[in-house]
Chains A and B, each alone.
Chain A
C-alpha cells in the first residue's frame, strides 16, 4: 500500500512567518506534487518534482518554493506567509512519466491557517 504522509494535519501561523510543510512517501515514486484546495476551486497545482533536486512550477507558484533533497521527501515552503495562503494543502506522489496512466496517491492534507 502506498503511503503518503504529511507532517501536520492542522497548522496555525502568523503573517510573515516562514512555514514548512513536509511530505514523505514510501513507495519510491519519482513524481511528487503539492496542491492547494479551496472551496469552489478544486485542487490547484503549486509545484511538482520529477526527480531529486528537480522541480517545476505548477499553476499557482507565486509565494511558494519547494525543496526535494531526497526522493521520498518533498517540502513546500511559504517564505513569508500571508492570509491569502490560508488553505488546505495536499501532497501527492506517482510513478514517473513513462507510466503515463499512473494515478496519484494523496496524503491526508494540512489545513493551514494564517492569522
Chain B
C-alpha cells in the first residue's frame, strides 16, 4: 500500500521568509506520479504541480520550487519570499501510474501542512 507523510502539521512564518514543506512517500511501484495541492480558506483544492517518477529534475515556478529526490523518497516544496496569500493547507499526494484492476487515478494524500504567513 502507498503512504504519504507530511510530518509538519503546522508552520508559521513572517512574510518574506522562505519556507519548505516536507513530503515523504512510500510505494513499491517504480512508476508513479507525485502532486502538490493548495487548499486556501475557500476550501477548494488547487492543483500546483505534477511530477512523474522518471523525472527528477527540480522545478521552479515563480516563487515556488520543488525538489524531488527519489533516493530519499521525498518531494519537498519551497516557497521563496512568502506572502500572506500563501496561507493555506498544502497537500502532497501520490498516484500509481500502472495501478492494476480498477484503481482509476486513485490519489493517496498526506495529512496536510497548515501554513500561516503573518504580515
Chain A interface residues toward B at CB < 8 A: 9, 31, 33, 35, 40-45, 48, 50, 56, 58, 88, 90, 92, 94, 96-97, 100-109, 111
Chain A residues with Cβ below 8 Å from B105 are 31, 33, 48, 94, 96-97, 100, 102, 104
Cβ of B91 to closest chain A Cβ, rounded Å = 6
Query: Does B111 reach chain A (CB closer than 8 Å)?
Result: yes
Cβ of A88 to closest chain B Cβ, rounded Å = 7
Q: Which applies to chain A's interface (DSSP): helix, strand, loop or mixed?
A: strand
Write out, one digit per residue, whether chain B residues 99-111 have a CB within 8 A of any chain A CB (1) or not (0): 1001111110111
Interface range on chain B (Cβ under 8 Å from partner): 20 to 34
Cα A94 to Cα B45 with chains together (Å): 13
Cα A101 to Cα B45 with chains together (Å): 17
Chain B interface residues toward A at CB < 8 A: 4, 6, 9, 33, 35, 37, 42-47, 50, 52, 91, 93, 95, 97-99, 102-107, 109-112
A50 lies within 8 A of B102 (CB): yes
A45 lies within 8 A of B9 (CB): no
Cβ of A21 to closest chain B Cβ, rounded Å = 14
B45 lies within 8 A of A90 (CB): yes
A–B pairs, 28, beta carbons within 8 Å: A31-B104, A33-B105, A40-B111, A42-B6, A42-B91, A42-B112, A43-B93, A43-B107, A43-B109, A44-B109, A48-B104, A50-B102, A56-B102, A58-B106, A94-B105, A97-B99, A97-B105, A100-B33, A100-B98, A101-B50, A101-B52, A101-B95, A106-B45, A108-B42, A108-B43, A109-B43, A109-B44, A111-B43
